[in-house]
Structure 1
């Protein structure tokens, strides 16, 4: 009976690690596999608000919004961090897209789907706004013009930074 209880507890513990982090909860620790640049841990971005954009090179809406995410990152450089998480199966596809799009912010490959699951990326593009302590403040699905006046104001308001 004790063994059954222990196995059940372990199974439930593993199931919760596979669930997406809820809005208001802190992100779990994760190693980030760089698409250029150095490897990092997700926690290394704490201390400053963070925008996470989950995308794939084969996703038309993701490709459409990437330039606006990059312009937003450049506009607010220093006020918050921006990172991209590619769900591509092939590193070369993701790297080629980033090179062609001339993306300036760091991007990472999620080949094991660990981040996709944790972030709740059951559809993409997905953009998350995260506070300086690593708590998810908002989850936005679908392509947006992130540097438009209304969306830039939304980001500034949510992350509590100067517009």
Structure 2
């Protein structure tokens, strides 16, 4: 966990990377994760929608700090872009309480033992948190960011997410 914490702290200073070195999204759409009620959900159900996929953990300060931005973005883009949170967690009751405490208004899933391998398959080779992937309606990764997500990041990537 110390290695992850260090990567989390490092990630605060990282920046948004756009399409040039984009990872492939197949691992995301192939995954089945549990919701906070511990029910399995196939992430393929999100295919065809512009997505902001955010990996986080309860113990990660920048992860907590970006939740209000993700909530506001989802509200502003309702029906246009979906935000998906993937907790690198295995404790469903704790995640459920966290989601309630932070009023997360977007779908949240527990990665359990799939978290690190899934993030790495989606371009996060360092394994740091938070990590966000941006996927357009055609299933193409149009950007990704290791580190604290800011409103400006979301504003800058929005045109690529919504491109026809």
Alignment TM-score, normalising by the size of structure 1: 0.75
> Deviation string for 1:96-140 (max 9, x for gaps)?
211100111100000022433333441000111001132222110
Equivalent of residue 119 in structure 2, options 113, 116, 121: 116
Which of 1 and 2 has higher RCO (CA within 8 Å, sep 6+)? 2
Task: State whether residues 36 and 107 of structure 1, in contact with CA within 8 Å, keep that contact through their aligned partners in structure 2.
Answer: no
- C-alpha separation between the residues in 1 aligned to 2:141 and 2:53? 10
Deviation at residue 92 of structure 1 after TM alignment: 2.7
Aligned position for 1:144: 149
Aligned residues: 138
**Structure 1, gaps ≥5 residues long:** 1-21
- C-alpha separation between the residues in 1 aligned to 2:86 and 2:148? 15
- C-alpha separation between the residues in 1 aligned to 2:33 and 2:134? 18
Equivalent of residue 156 in structure 2, options 151, 154, 157: 154
- C-alpha separation between the residues in 1 aligned to 2:123 and 2:73? 23
1:100 aligns with 2:105: no
SS class of match (1:54) = strand
SS class of match (1:98) = helix
**Structure 2, gaps ≥5 residues long:** 1-20
Task: State whether residues 27 and 136 of structure 1, in contact with CA within 8 Å, keep that contact through their aligned partners in structure 2.
Answer: no
Task: State whether residues 22 and 123 of structure 2, in contact with CA within 8 Å, keep that contact through their aligned partners in structure 1.
Answer: no
- C-alpha separation between the residues in 2 aligned to 1:82 and 1:35? 16
Deviation at residue 37 of structure 1 after TM alignment: 8.4
Higher Rg of the two aligned structures: 1
Give RMSD over aligned pairs.
2.2
Equivalent of residue 132 in structure 2, options 127, 131, 140: 127
Task: State whether residues 110 and 116 of structure 1, in contact with CA within 8 Å, keep that contact through their aligned partners in structure 2.
Answer: no
